[in-house]
């Protein structure tokens, strides 16, 4: 067996660092949480750097079970980067809220290890292991503030519903296996294309079930109901991480899966139906997310619903199903990660300032109390709304581009309409921060290291917005 | 010899880049200045805008008015995969509007110096970004770049209205934002469609306007129709054309004086500029088809705006509605699709920018003193503010369209275009629009009479101070130009003549072809 050791370096390093050394360090370093924190930070940075090295080193290895290099390596970098940004913000936040335990970082890194498996998977079982590892880590992280009822509720809810979704996923995989006698993507694809499966119905049902299981992870309609509750109850840094990296991971798995399930090039008979179905789901997801977000009064719920809507936008790239569509997804997820994570981290910073701070009304007059935080928050909001010159705009442009290219102009028009709806609440927050007066004028929140996260995110959305070519040319080279 | 041409060309390109980016440099300088150093911030803003104006004048020597081609073109790739570039350049029409922008901005800064009382740093920073966006709109030769500049204006403007505006500013700001966005997002889809149309015609996906100019007219008529509408919606909201004008009175009334000046003088022009640059040039066939619809809306807007202006008791609102009426002339001129008509429209854009800008400054001058905009609160102001009365009257008469002042030239030409247009081909457009001129005289003169003449009965008005030096210098440059254009419009019109002729000839070509086909 030939193992492409170099290509799988990021995976190997993070697994070794986590399972081999991390646990040991943690066992012998009681009371030295800075050591554990630094260790995991270094792990993520190293893994991220290694993934950059493998950008142009593509191939499959481990009996075709994982793919290395290219898009998967880029996703590694994205996950690790998100992890670093979240960790920077997490330490102070967790300590402030009574959850400053080392295990948190173990869970965070293990969830990233799961995500990386999802991005690298070319075998259904590998995918399943990745999804489960990520999800279980998320359940724990969501309920990490164990003396807070909301946090525990969030963790439990996420766990119950998530387990249900995993059931769908496993069941679907079993059906695909039954229909094609293989778990390998390429074999499944070959069987679909050749039409040699003895159980075409199993094949279709299995595909739908897998899609359902992963729809749950990206919070697409009608499987989005958990998101607001979980996002609201979970510690804000966890929300910031789950709603960005978690979503990106699910999409990183969906892109190769859909190229298997929708062999568009060969023009299989089922494709148009699947494509139209997906388009409808995408349209409804963005409309439902944005319309529901309009009436929210809690900022975490508002951002949660907006994240549902963004899943709808990203789905447009899957609907298109072209290389351009996939590139658009990757660009958008990158942009989305920075803006959504940044926005949640700002929320986290301000969380303890006063009682109303999670209510939208608590943001009234923020520009007077915290001019810098208000300014970056406004940038995140404009970027989420898709206003140039921020990255969110260019991401949307690419998604619209791919959708129009594939003949889905109607979907683009719906996306435009829902963008207009979304402006209502994004701008609403800006209006509160800038055009209204504050109730109390004493700034008390400390930014700390989270300020660095916010700064990086805001610089990133400007750079990606003004010079999107930097990223598109990189993505386009695979 | 060749070298001199090269040098002059280089100077033009430099001047163009300077006009575009100098405000950004100013904005960065302001960002780096301490918040408490108000004087420094104000000076940077003023110096930047004045220098930008001076720099933009260097566009003139190298500009060749004898051609319709784009000049001083800068063409660099921006996003290679989508063939979107940083492509800028000017023709006569854009030159006039760029100069108008660089000219109005220092005035707007002067207006702000005393009237803006809080958050100076943010204010001047946003003003300079706004200038960047507006200049960009007028020089962009790439649909994607154009879109980015177009949207870039939203953010500064919404803050200027929302933070420094009047009582009802939040409502006005949000309304402005939503209206503009609804239109522009559809334009984005049309931009994509256009790009793919280029691909279908074998050019590959592109947003290069110079390439698209060859693509647009070849698009099948029914698709042209939809693309025209998608672009036009966005532009008509901005102009604003009846019935998309309802954001304008709110935004104008609530914005601070400088905001109103910029809105009226420059932002509205982006809409009418877009109609010429995109709708007429890219979709000539659809333009011919829809000319009568657009013209009817324009005429309705002229009359409606005038009638509503007449009954206003708030004189800022009155001036705002007069904009609806005056911009109707611009649209009418454009869709008469005659050389005179479009020329009239172009010069009317400049005129409206000058005279309405001046009127808003005058409103601001009175508001500063009395903090009310109710016409009934005033009367007999001439006696206490004689200098102000003269300048106010000139601006007002220019807006009415008195011969010898700028407004007359533009309105006369657009009306002539409407009368002689073979495409509209009906006398009613011109006749009805012409009554709009009469209405304008009614509401403006009546307003002037109620505010400035008569008895100074309100005791609060007895001791109003006449124009300060600062206010004087806000109005004088505008007044000089208003008279200049009124007396010698050729100086300005010649610049744009060839560009206009080119657009119109293209449309005429299409009509000629269609008639020829029909006769077969």
Domain that holds residue B301: 283-520
Question: Does residue B393 sit at the A interface (CB-CB below 8 Å)?
Answer: no
Q: CA-to-CA distance for B490 and A342, rounded, in angstroms?
A: 55
DSSP classification of residue B241: P
A400 and B167 Cβ atoms separated by less than 8 Å: no
- Confirm if A240 and A348 have CB atoms less than 8 A apart: yes
Nearest to B182 among A382, A412, A420 (CB): A420
Residue A331 scores a pLDDT above 90: yes
CA distance B301 to chain A (A): 26
Q: Would you call B79 and A468 a contact, using CB atoms and an 8 Å cutoff?
A: yes
Of the residues B280, B308, B340, which one is the last residue of a structural domain?
Answer: B280
Pairwise CA distance, residues A32 & B187, whole Å: 58
- Please say if the pLDDT value at position A477 is more than 70: yes
Instruction: Determine whether the interchain pair A416/B152 forms a contact, defined as Cβ–Cβ distance below 8 Å.
Output: no
Domain count, chain B: 2
Ranking A64-73, A248-257, B450-459 by mean pLDDT, the lowest is B450-459
Minimal Cα–Cα distance from B231 to chain A, Å?
14
Whether the per-residue pLDDT at A179 is higher than 90: the answer is: no
| Max mean pLDDT range (A61-70, A329-338, B150-159, B422-431) | A329-338
Q: How high is the pLDDT of residue A287?
A: 93
Q: What average pLDDT does the segment B384-405 reach? A: 88
**Domain boundary residue, one of B251, B280, B309:** B280
Distance from CA of A122 to the nearest CA of B (A): 29
With CB atoms and an 8 Å threshold, state whether B177 touches A427: yes
Of B80, B144, B189, the CB nearest to A473: B80
- What token pair was written down for B41? 């911030």
Is residue B310 a contact partner of residue B442, using CB atoms and an 8 Å limit?
Answer: yes
pLDDT at B345: 92
Segment A201-212 mean pLDDT: 84
Mean of the pLDDT values across residues B483-493? 87
> Has residue A41 got a pLDDT over 70?
yes
CB contact under 8 A, B189 and A389: no
> pLDDT at position A442, please?
66
User: In chain A, which residue's Cα lies nearest the Cα of B151?
Assistant: A388
Q: What is the mean predicted confidence (pLDDT) over B98-119?
A: 89
How far is the alpha carbon of A264 from chain B, nearest alpha carbon, in Å? 21
> Is B182's CB within 8 Å of A431's CB?
no
Residues B258 and B403 in one domain: no
Check whether A470 has a pLDDT greater than 90.
no
Do residues B270 and B288 both lie within one domain?
A: no
- With 70 as the cut, is the pLDDT of residue A263 above it? no
CB nearest to A476's CB, from B81, B154, B181: B81
Report percent pLDDT > 70 for chain A. Answer: 95
Q: Are B248 and B331 in the same domain?
A: no
Q: Residue A267's pLDDT is what?
A: 46
Q: What is the chain B residue with the closest CA to A465?
A: B148
**What is the least distance, in Å, from the CA of B196 to any CA of chain A?**
7
Q: Which residue of A has its CA nearest to B181?
A: A420
pLDDT given for residue A443 in this prediction: 66
Which residue does chain B place closest to A391, by CA atoms?
B148
B50 interfacial to chain A (CB closer than 8 Å): no
Average pLDDT of the segment spanning A345-362: 78
Q: How confident is the model at residue A200 (pLDDT cuts 50, 70, 90)?
A: confident
Residues of B with Cβ-Cβ distance to A424 under 8 angstroms: 178
* Same domain assignment for residues B416 and B402: yes
Residues 110-169 of B with CB under 8 A from A: 144, 147-148, 151-152, 154-155, 158-159, 162-163, 169
Residues of chain A whose C-beta is under 8 A from some C-beta in B? Answer: 382, 387-389, 393, 397, 400-401, 404-405, 409, 412-413, 416, 419-420, 423-424, 427-428, 431, 434-436, 468-469, 472-473, 476
Give the contacts of A387 (CB within 8 A, at least 6 positions apart): A393, B151, B154, B155, B181
B318 and B224 in one domain? no
* Alpha carbon of B163: minimum distance to chain A alpha carbons (Å): 5
Residue numbers in B near A427 (CB within 8 A): 158, 174, 177-178
Is there a single domain that holds both residue B409 and residue B514? Answer: yes
| Residues of A in Cβ contact (< 8 Å) with B178 | 420, 423-424, 427
Q: Indicate if the pLDDT at residue B402 is higher than 70.
A: yes
Residues B272 and B288 in one domain: no
pLDDT of A125: 92
Across the interface, do B186 and A397 touch by the CB < 8 Å criterion? no
Q: Is the pLDDT of residue A370 over 50?
A: yes
**CA-CA distance, B98 to B94, in Å (whole number)?**
6
Buried b (16+ CB within 10 A) or exposed e, A449-478: ebbebbebbbebbbebbbebbebbeebeeb
Residue B54 is predicted with a pLDDT of: 93
pLDDT in tens, B444-461: 888 888 888 888 777 887
Distances (CA, A) of A290 to A53, A218, A281, A298, B197: 39, 15, 14, 14, 31
3 state SS for chain A: CCCCCCCCHHHHHHHHHHHHHHHHHHHHCCCCHHHHHHHHHHHHHHHHHHHHHCCCCCEEECCCCEEECHHHHHHHHHHHHHHHHHHHHHHHHHHHCCCCCCHHHHHHHHHHHHHHHHHHECEHHHHHHHHHHHHHHHHHHHCCCCCCHHHHHHHHHHHHHHHHHHHHHHHHHHHHHHHHCCCEHHHHHHHHHHCCCCCHHHHHHHHHHHHHHHHHHHCCCCCCCHHHHHHHHCCHHHHHHHHHHHHHHHHHHHHHHHHHHCCHHHCCCCHHHHHHHHHHHHHHHHHHHHHHHHCCCEHHHHHHHHHHHHHHHHHHHHHHCCHHHHHHHHHHHHHHHHHHHHHHHHHHHHCCCCHHHHEHHHHCCHHHHCHHHHHHHHHHHHHHHCCCCCHHHHHHHHHHHHHHHCCCHHHHHHHHHHHHHHHHHHHHHHHHHHHCCCCCCCCCCCCCCHHHHHHHHHHHHHHHHHCCHHHHHHHHCC
Q: A386 CA to chain B: closest CA distance, Å?
A: 10
Chain A residue closest to B80 (CA)? A469
pLDDT in tens, B3-39: 677 788 888 888 899 999 999 999 999 989 888 888 8
Cβ atoms within 10 Å of B167's Cβ, excluding its own: 9
Does residue A330 have a pLDDT over 60?
Answer: yes
- The answer on B335 and B201 residing in a single domain is no
pLDDT of residue A478: 76
pLDDT attached to residue B375: 85
Query: Is residue A10 pLDDT above 90, yes or no?
Result: no
- For chain A, what are the domain ranges? 268-478
Give residue A22's pLDDT band: very low, low, confident or very high (50, 70, 90): confident
CA–CA min distance A383, chain B (Å): 11
Whether residue A171 has pLDDT greater than 90: yes
Name the residue with tokens 């691909």: B199
For residue A292, the distance in angstroms to the closest alpha carbon of chain B comes to 18
Contact check, Cβ <8 Å, B151/A387? yes
Report pLDDT for A262.
Answer: 65
Contact assignment for B78 to A469 by CB distance below 8 Å:
yes
pLDDT band at residue A265 using 50, 70 and 90 as cut-offs: very low
Chain B partners of A419 at a C-beta cutoff of 8 Å? 181, 185
pLDDT band at A356 (very low <50, low <70, confident <90, very high): low
Residues of chain B contacting A469 with CB distance shorter than 8 Å: 77-81
Contacts of A387 in chain B (CB under 8 A): 151, 154-155, 181
The per-residue pLDDT for A127 is: 93
Place of tokens 């660095």: A452
Residue A119 distance to chain B (closest CA, Å):
25
Q: What is the pLDDT of residues A120-146, one digit of tens each?
A: 999 999 999 999 999 999 999 999 888
State the average pLDDT over residues B407-423: 87
Instruction: State pLDDT tens for residues A290-310.
Output: 999 999 989 999 999 999 999
Q: Can you give the pLDDT at residue A264? A: 42
What's the complex ipTM? 0.89
Shortest CB distance from B192 goes to which of A382, A400, A473? A400
Cβ contact B196–A404 (<8 Å): yes
A388 contacts in chain B (CB < 8 Å): 147-148, 151-152
A397, A426, A477: which to substitute to probe chain B, counting the most B Cβ within 10 Å? A397
Residues of chain B with C-beta less than 8 angstroms from the C-beta of A405: 196
pLDDT, mean over chain B: 87
pLDDT band at A353 (very low <50, low <70, confident <90, very high): low
Average pLDDT over residues B260-275: 91
B188: contact with A, CB 8 A cutoff = yes
């Amino acid at each position: 067996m030939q193992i492409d050791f170099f290509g799988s370096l990021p995976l190997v390093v993070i697994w070794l660092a986590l399972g081999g050394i991390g646990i040991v360090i943690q066992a012998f370093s009681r009371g030295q949480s800075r050591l554990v924190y630094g260790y995991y930070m270094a792990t993520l940075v190293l893994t991220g750097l290694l993934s950059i090295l493998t950008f142009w080193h593509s191939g499959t290895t481990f009996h075709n079970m994982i793919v290395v290099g290219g898009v998967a390596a880029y996703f590694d970098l994205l996950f690790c980067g998100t992890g670093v940004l979240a960790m920077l913000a997490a330490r102070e936040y967790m300590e402030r809220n009574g959850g400053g335990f080392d295990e948190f970082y173990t869970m965070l890194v293990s969830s990233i290890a799961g995500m990386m498996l999802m991005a690298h998977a070319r075998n259904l079982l590998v995918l399943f292991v990745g999804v489960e590892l990520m999800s279980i880590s998320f359940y724990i992280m969501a309920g990490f503030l164990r003396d807070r009822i909301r946090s525990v509720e969030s963790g439990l809810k996420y766990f119950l519903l998530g387990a249900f979704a995993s059931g769908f996923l496993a069941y679907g995989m079993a059906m695909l296996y039954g229909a094609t006698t293989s778990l390998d993507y390429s074999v499944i694809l070959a069987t679909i294309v050749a039409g040699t499966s003895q159980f075409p119905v199993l094949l279709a049902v299995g595909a739908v079930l897998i899609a359902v299981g992963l729809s749950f992870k990206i919070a697409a309609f009608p499987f989005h109901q958990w998101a607001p509750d979980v996002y609201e109850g979970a510690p804000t840094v966890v929300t910031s991480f789950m709603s960005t990296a978690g979503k990106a991971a699910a999409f990183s798995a969906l892109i190769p899966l859909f190229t298997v399930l929708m062999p568009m090039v060969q023009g299989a008979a089922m494709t148009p139906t699947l494509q139209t179905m997906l388009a409808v789901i995408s349209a409804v997801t963005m409309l439902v997310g944005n319309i529901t977000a309009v009436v929210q009064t809690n900022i975490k719920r508002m951002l949660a619903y907006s994240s549902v809507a963004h899943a709808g936008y990203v789905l447009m790239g899957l609907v298109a199903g072209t290389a351009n569509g996939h590139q658009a997804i990757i660009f958008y997820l990158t942009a989305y990660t920075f803006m959504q994570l940044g926005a949640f981290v700002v929320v986290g910073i301000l969380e303890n300032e006063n009682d109303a701070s999670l209510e939208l009304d608590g943001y009234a007059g923020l520009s007077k109390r915290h001019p810098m935080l208000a300014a970056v928050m406004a940038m995140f909001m404009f970027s989420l709304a898709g206003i140039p010159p921020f990255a969110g705009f260019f991401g949307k442009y690419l998604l619209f581009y791919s959708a129009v290219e594939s003949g889905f102009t109607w979907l683009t028009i719906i996306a435009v309409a829902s963008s207009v709806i979304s402006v209502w609440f994004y701008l609403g927050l800006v209006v509160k921060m800038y055009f209204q007066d504050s109730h109390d004028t004493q700034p008390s929140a400390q930014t700390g290291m989270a300020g660095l996260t916010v700064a990086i995110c805001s610089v990133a959305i400007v750079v990606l917005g003004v010079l999107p070519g930097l990223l598109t040319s990189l993505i386009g080279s695979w | 010899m060749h070298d001199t041409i090269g040098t002059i060309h280089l100077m033009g390109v430099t001047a163009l880049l300077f006009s575009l980016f100098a405000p950004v440099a100013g904005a960065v300088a302001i960002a780096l200045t301490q918040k408490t150093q108000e004087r420094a911030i104000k000076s940077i803003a003023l110096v930047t805008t004045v220098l930008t104006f001076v720099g933009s004048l260097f566009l003139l020597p190298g500009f060749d008015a004898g051609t319709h081609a784009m000049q001083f073109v800068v063409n660099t790739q921006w996003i290679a995969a989508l063939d979107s570039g940083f492509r800028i350049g000017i023709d006569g029409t854009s030159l006039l509007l760029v100069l108008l922008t660089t000219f109005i901005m220092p005035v707007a800064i002067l207006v702000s110096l005393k009237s803006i009382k809080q958050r100076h740093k943010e204010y001047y920073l946003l003003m300079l970004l706004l200038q960047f966006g507006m200049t960009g709109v007028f020089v962009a030769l790439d649909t994607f770049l154009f879109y980015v500049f177009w949207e870039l204006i939203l953010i500064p403007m919404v803050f200027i209205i929302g933070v420094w505006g009047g009582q009802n500013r939040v409502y006005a700001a949000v309304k402005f934002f939503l209206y503009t966005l609804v239109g522009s997002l559809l334009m984005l889809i049309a931009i994509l469609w256009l790009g793919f149309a280029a691909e279908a015609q074998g050019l590959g996906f592109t947003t290069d306007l110079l390439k698209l100019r060859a693509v647009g007219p070849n698009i099948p008529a029914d698709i042209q129709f939809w693309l025209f509408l998608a672009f036009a919606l966005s532009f008509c909201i901005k102009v604003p054309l009846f019935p998309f004008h309802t954001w304008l009175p709110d935004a104008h009334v609530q914005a601070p004086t400088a905001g109103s000046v910029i809105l009226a003088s420059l932002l509205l022009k982006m809409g009418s500029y877009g109609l010429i640059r995109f709708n007429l040039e890219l979709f000539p066939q659809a333009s011919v088809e829809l000319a009568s619809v657009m013209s009817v809306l324009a005429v309705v807007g002229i009359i409606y705006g005038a009638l509503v202006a007449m009954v206003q008791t708030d004189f800022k609102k009155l001036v705002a509605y007069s904009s609806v009426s005056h911009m109707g002339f611009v649209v009418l001129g454009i869709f008469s699709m005659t050389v005179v008509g479009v020329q009239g429209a172009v010069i009317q854009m400049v005129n409206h920018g000058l005279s309405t800008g001046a009127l808003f400054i005058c409103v601001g001058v009175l508001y500063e003193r009395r903090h009310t905009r109710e016409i009934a609160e005033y009367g007999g102001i001439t006696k206490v503010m004689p200098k102000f009365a003269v300048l106010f009257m000139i601006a007002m008469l220019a807006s009415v369209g008195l011969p010898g002042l700028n407004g007359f030239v533009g309105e006369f030409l657009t009306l002539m275009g409407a009368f002689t247009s073979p495409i509209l081909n009906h006398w009613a457009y011109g006749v009805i629009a012409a009554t709009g001129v009469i209405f304008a005289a009614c509401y403006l003169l009546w307003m002037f009479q109620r505010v400035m003449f008569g008895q100074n009965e309100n005791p609060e008005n007895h001791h109003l101070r006449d124009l300060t030096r600062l206010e004087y210098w806000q109005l004088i440059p505008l007044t000089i130009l208003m008279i200049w254009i009124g007396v010698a419009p050729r100086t300005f019109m010649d610049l744009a003549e060839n560009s206009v002729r080119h657009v119109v000839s293209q449309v005429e070509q299409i009509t000629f072809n269609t008639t020829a086909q029909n006769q077969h």
